[in-house]
Structure 1
Amino acid sequence: MANIVLAHGAWSAAWAWKKMRPLLQEAGHQFYAPTYTGLGARAHLATPDVDLSTHIQDIVSEIEFEDLNDVVLLGHSYGGMVATGVADKVASQLARIVYIDAFAPKDGQSLFDLVGPKAEGNMRKGAERDGEGWKMPVNPMPPDTAPEDVAWAGPRRRPQPIKTFEQKIKLESTEPLPPRDYIYATRNGPGDPFRQFADRARSEAGWTCHELDTSHNPHITCPNEFMALLTKIMAGGK
C-alpha cells in the first residue's frame, strides 16, 4: 500500500499518533513518524538554535535514509510548515501531500506571519516568562478532548523552540508539486487560523479541500473517522 510519512505538530511528537498507528498498519500501510529534534523522545536535544530548517531536515533525512518513494506526506498543524519545506526538497519522491488542519505557507512566510501579531505576542510573552526566551510553553488542547486523552498527552508535550515559528520558509525548487489535499477541522473556535488555508484549497489549482467534523487533533479525538477520510483521499476520492 502506501508509504506514509508524518510531519507532526508543535509541542507534539510521534507518540501523539499512537491511536493511528494500528489503523494504518491494519490497512497495509508503512507508517513513518519521525520525532522532530527537541521534542518528544528527542526533547533532550532542544537548543535555542533549533529552527524550521532543522525540522524540515529531520523529515527529509527520514525519507532519504529509508529510501522512500511514492510517499504520502502528512502535515498536521505546524507540520504543514515542515511538509511544505520537505516538498520543496524532495518533490519527486512524493505522491501526495495531505495538510491536516495545517499551516500552508508561501515563500517567505513564517508561522508567526500566519497566526498574526496577537497570537505571536502571546507566545513570545510565554517564552520570555516561562521558557528562557526561546522555549514556547505548550498551548491548551482543544476543549472537546476527552479527559483521559488530556491526562495521557499532557505530560508528554514539550516546549517548542521559538525559532521554528520565527524562521521564514524559503522555497527554491522548480519541480512540480504532487496533488495536495487539505483536511479542515470544522470545530475550531474563535480566532481559527486554518480557515484561510481551507479557503485557498477550495479555489487554487492543485488542491482538494475536505472537511471533518472534529476539532484540531483528529488523530486523538476521532481516529476512526479520520482514518476513513485518509483512506478515501489516498484512493483519489474527493
Structure 2
Amino acid sequence: MATYVLVHGGGHGGWCYRPVARLLREAGHEVHAPSLTGLADRAHLVGPHVDLDLHIEDVRALLHAEDLRDVVLVGHSYGGMVVTGAADRAADRVGKLVYLDAATPAAGESLVDVAGPIIESTRPFGEVVNGVELVLLPAPGAGAFYGVTDPETVAWMDDRLTGHPWKCFEQPLTLTDEAAFRAIPQFHVVCTSTIPTRGPELIAEARAEGRLWDIDTGHDLMLTEPRAVADVLLEIARA
C-alpha cells in the first residue's frame, strides 16, 4: 500500500483531488488531500500571515502529525512550490516527489519567477480584502481559466474556488537541505500543451530516465482526466 499526499494549486483546495483520491483509495492506497491555510474549507483563516512558508509548514506538519513515511508527495501548479519546500524540510518522510503540471522552482525562486507572465496576468483582477491582496478571485465560469470545459465540472468548481493571497506567489522558496531534497526521486506529469514552456533540460532528462508523462488535457488535469492521472500515480508508486 502506498501513501499519497496530494497538494492543490492556487485558488483550489483538497476538494479538487476528489475524483483522483477515490480511484487511488479504490486501489487500496492511503490518500491525504489537505486544503492549505486560507483556502477552500480553510478560507476563514486567511490573513496577512498566509504565505508560501506557511503552506510548506501545513504539509510538513501533516507528514509529522499523521506519522506518514515513504510518501508519494504530489503538487499541482502552485502546489509545486509547496511540495518542493515540504520535501526539503521533511526529506526523511518523502519517498517520491511528483510535479503535476506544476512549478518546479530552484532555491530563491518565487512562483512569479517561475511562471511570471501567467501569474502576473491575474494580479490586475485581484482586490484587497481586510488588508490581504487576493488574486484568482472566484467568478462564474472561472474553471475555464484552468482548462476545464465540462459545464458540470465548471459549475462544481464555481462553488469551491477561493481567492489566493498574492503574498504566496511572490515569496521566494528557501531550501534548508538541498542535498537531501535532490536525493528524492522526482517525477513529472505535465499537460502536453505546457511542455514547450518548461525547461528543455529538465524535460529531456526526465524523459530519458522514464520519469515524464504527458496528458493531452487542460491544466486542471486531476479534474479533466482523473483516471489518467490516477493511473500514472499508481505507476509511480510501483516504480
- Mapping for residues 111-150 of structure 1, pairs under 5 Å: 111-116=111-116, 118-128=117-127, 134-138=133-137, 140-141=142-143, 142-150=146-154
Between the aligned partners of 1:198 and 1:216, the Cα distance in structure 2 is 19
What is the aligned counterpart of 1:160 among 161, 164, 172? 164
Deviation at 1:182, TM superposition (A): 0.4
What is the aligned counterpart of 1:226 among 216, 225, 229? 229
Asked if residue 43 in structure 1 is aligned to residue 46 in structure 2, the reply is no
> Residue 235 and residue 150 in structure 1: after superposition, are their counterparts in 2 closer, same or farther (change >3 A)?
same
Contact 1:180 1:207 in 2 (8 A): no
Contact 2:108 2:174 in 1 (8 A): yes
Give per-residue Cα distances to partners, 1:111-132, cap 9 Å, x unaligned: 011122x445433322247896
Letter in 2 for 1:2: A
Give per-residue Cα distances to partners, 1:147-174, cap 9 Å, x unaligned: 0000001121000001110100011203
Partner of 1:100: 100
> Residue 181 and residue 55 in structure 1: after superposition, are their counterparts in 2 closer, same or farther (change >3 A)?
same
TM-score by length of 2: 0.88
Give per-residue Cα distances to partners, 1:80-103, cap 9 Å, x unaligned: 000000011011111100100000
Between the aligned partners of 2:212 and 2:70, the Cα distance in structure 1 is 21
Deviation at 1:28, TM superposition (A): 0.9
Between the aligned partners of 1:233 and 1:198, the Cα distance in structure 2 is 22
Which blocks of at least 5 consecutive residues in structure 2 are unaligned? none
Asked if residue 212 in structure 1 is aligned to residue 222 in structure 2, the reply is no
Deviation at 1:199, TM superposition (A): 5.0
Partner of 2:57: 57
Between the aligned partners of 1:196 and 1:69, the Cα distance in structure 2 is 30
Local SS of the residue matching 1:88: helix
Between the aligned partners of 2:115 and 2:231, the Cα distance in structure 1 is 30
> Residue 131 and residue 158 in structure 1: after superposition, are their counterparts in 2 closer, same or farther (change >3 A)?
farther
Which blocks of at least 5 consecutive residues in structure 1 are unaligned? none
Local SS of the residue matching 2:69: coil
Contact 1:185 1:215 in 2 (8 A): yes
Contact 1:111 1:166 in 2 (8 A): yes
Deviation at 1:209, TM superposition (A): 1.6
Contact 2:48 2:131 in 1 (8 A): no
For this pair of structures, how many residues does the alignment match? 231
Deviation at 1:61, TM superposition (A): 0.6
Partner of 1:203: 205
Partner of 1:110: 110
Partner of 1:90: 90
Q: Identity of aligned pairs, percent?
A: 36
Partner of 1:180: 186
